[in-house]
Every structure is written in structure tokens, then in C-alpha cells.
Amino acid sequence: MAKSAYLMMVAIIIVFVACHKENRQVEHLMENGVEVIVNHPQPAKLKTFELDQEFVIDLSSKDLIDRGLAEPAGIDIDSVGNIFVWSQSSNQNYVFKFNSTGAFISSFGRTGQGPGEVRFPTSVGFDSNDELMVSDPLQAKLVFFDTNGTFLKQHILSKRLVTVLPLKNGNYFAGTQISNPSEAFNSIVYNIYDSGFNIISEVGRGKYYKPNAEKDFLAMNPTGFVCVSSSYVFFGDSDKGYEIECFDKSGKLKRIIRKDFISIRVSGKFKDALIEKYSKFPPEILNRVIYPDNLPPFQTGFTDEDGRLFIMTYEESAITGQYWHDVFNKEGIFIGRLSIGNYGTYGRSRGPLFTMFKGERIYHFRENLDGFRELVVCRMK
């Protein structure tokens, strides 16, 4: 009996120590009534996720180029798995439809200024009715199509919005560009709007620096992203450090996810590229450029429908051209890492559209050997 009691006590101590060790990896705080999850650099049990490539769509094929596809900019997937690739440069149609195995079906979204026509799309996404919404800020309108590409309706907006994303409750997420003439940067304000495009709440603000002969400015813009799951709108801004804010579909801040990180120094090659970027500017501007010593905590991020987060860091994996992504579960806890190629951060407002996780598949762009983009479709294991 004494031996059994002793063994039970040892087991309890082992469980307590194990739980205590795991709890030290995650801290749960409350700040101003909001739950804050603080993750440390390594979880108790770090998982390494892998991708099984299913197929690749060559977006630079002669057939697609002849049909007008140029400079593919983003993707979305309908409820049955059809793939819709959209372009920002076309003299014919802007949206190209492929089936769930990658075969081309049709193109639509004609360029122009008439009803149902588009001049410069900045985002494309499906709403809760499986209608594809194309945002055209040049004409301040939203154009809706069914999954076959038939024009359904359009909404004329009172202002030009960028990155308009439909939410499942009928609201919208969108950004507005703001010029700051007296500053060295311009801003983008992100809001959640109701169905009539009245502002419900502000989600966050980002800024991008502009060459300025009177004020110092950073050579590298702060990185950030926005992505949408079935329940949350996630917003990350590297100016705040490694921190992701989680809003519900009505714009209420529900959770903040933080992670301790080790800064990565800017390499000589990276700095040389920044110097080359500004090399043709006049001396009065060159003297104002501030070159960073360290890289931001992350590049961009995306989510799946359940709310798992995949945050692209600047840490290169063992595979050339790929970066480690920190993986967080739907409770905001860091659980593992995933290596994916650099699918590109082409601007704060459009980052989330270059990769997405939907229906157990990850879709992302990559450059082929000729420097053209292809769409890679994988499953995660």
C-alpha cells in the first residue's frame, strides 16, 4: 500500500513538472479587458509540418498569355475547389478560372469602364453567397460575378478602397490610403464596414515611407498583413513588434497574440539591394535615408478557415529560397514551423492574397526558373 502511494506521488510530481514546463512556454494575460497570449521562442513540443505538392499551374504558359493573363496578383477558391487567379495587368479579362485539378476553364472580368467592367483590381474574394467580388479603386466600385463568370451586380462606392475583403457575416474589411504631405510617410487605415459601407470600427493603421528631402525616412517599409478566417480578422504590424491582433467580424478586438523573437541582422546583400534602390535619387534625398540594422520580426502571414495562423519570418530554412513560418493553433499558441518558398510581399495592402489555406490545401505563388510565376497547390501533413 505504501509502495502504491509512493508511486502515485511520483507520477503526480512528474505530471506537475511536465505541465509547469509547458506552461512556461505560453503566458495568458489580460490587458484592458483583452486576452493576450504570450508565446516564447520554442514551444514545449515543436512540430515540423511538411507539404505534399499536388500540382503546379504554369501561369506563364503560352495559352494563358494568349488569353491575356499577365502578372498574376492573387487567388481565391470557391466552395467546390475551383481556383480563380486574378491579374492587375490585362488588355482582355482580369480573372482566370481553373478547376480543382488545375485545368483552365474560362476567363472573365473584362477590362473597361462599363457595368461589370474593371480597370485596376486590387483584391478579389468570395463572399458568403459564393459570389466573387472584384474591387476596382480606380472606378471606386465593387463588381460581383457568379462562379461561372456571369456579371451579377456592382456597387458604386463613395470613396476609393483598397483590399476589400467580404466577411461571412455580410460586413467588409477594407483599407483607405491617406496622404500625409508634411510627413515622410503615407498611411493606410484599415476598417470594418457594414453592408452599406459605413465604418463600424478601425482595425489598424500602417504606413509606407516616401523619399523626402526634408525629413529622414526609412529605406525599408514596416511589414504587415491582414487575413480573414471564418471567425476572425487578423492584423499584424511589425511596428508593434511580433504582435497579431484578432478582431471578430463586428470589429471588436478579442485577442492579441505575441511571440518573443530573436532579431535577424540585415545582411550585406540585403543592404546593398536597398542602397541600389535609392542610388538614382538626388543627393539631398540620399542623405535622408535611414538603413535598418535588423529585419522586422515577420514578413507577412495567412490563416486557414479554422483560424490557425502561419506567420512568415525572415529566417531562411534549410531549403534554398524558403522561409520558416511560425504556426499558431486557433487558440493563438505557437505549435510548430512550416517551410514555404517566398511567395512574395508585394505591399502591405495585398500581402494575404499571395497565399491562402482553404479546404485542406495551401495555394501559393513562386517563381519558376525563367522568373515567371506559377501557382503551387499542396496539402499539409
Q: What is the pLDDT of residue 351?
A: 37
- pLDDT tens across 225-249, in order? 889 998 999 999 998 999 999 999 9
* Distance (Å, whole) CA 256 – CA 224: 15
> How high is the pLDDT of residue 341?
77
Strand, coil or helix: what is 311?
strand
Confidence of residue 89 (pLDDT cuts 50, 70, 90): confident
3-state secondary structure of 190: strand
265 vs 141, 270, 294, CA distance in Å? 43, 10, 4
When pLDDT is averaged across residues 334-340 and rounded to a whole number, the result is: 93
**Do the beta carbons of residue 71 and residue 88 sit within 8 Å?**
yes
- Assign 3-class secondary structure to 182-193: CCCEEEEEEEEE
pTM of the model: 0.86
* Range with the poorest average pLDDT among 9-13, 41-45, 202-206: 9-13
The SS3 of residue 99 is coil
Question: Of 227, 202, 250, 236, which Cα lies nearest the Cα of 125?
Answer: 227
Query: In this structure, are residues 275 and 283 in contact, taking their beta carbons and an 8 Å threshold?
Result: no
Residue 9 confidence (pLDDT): 44
State the pLDDT at residue 354: 76
Q: How far is CA 144 from the centre of its chain?
A: 23
For residues 357 and 377, what is the distance between their CA atoms, to the nearest angstrom? 10
Is the pLDDT at 52 greater than 80? The verdict is yes
CA 196 to centroid of chain Cα atoms: 25
The answer to whether residue 27 scores a pLDDT higher than 50 is yes
Phi, psi (degrees; rounded to nearest 5) at 71: 50, 65
Q: How far apart are CA 206 and CA 187, in angstroms?
A: 6
Q: Mean pLDDT in the chain?
A: 86
What is the pLDDT confidence band of residue 307, given thresholds at 50, 70 and 90? very high
With cut-offs at 50, 70 and 90, classify the pLDDT of residue 320. confident
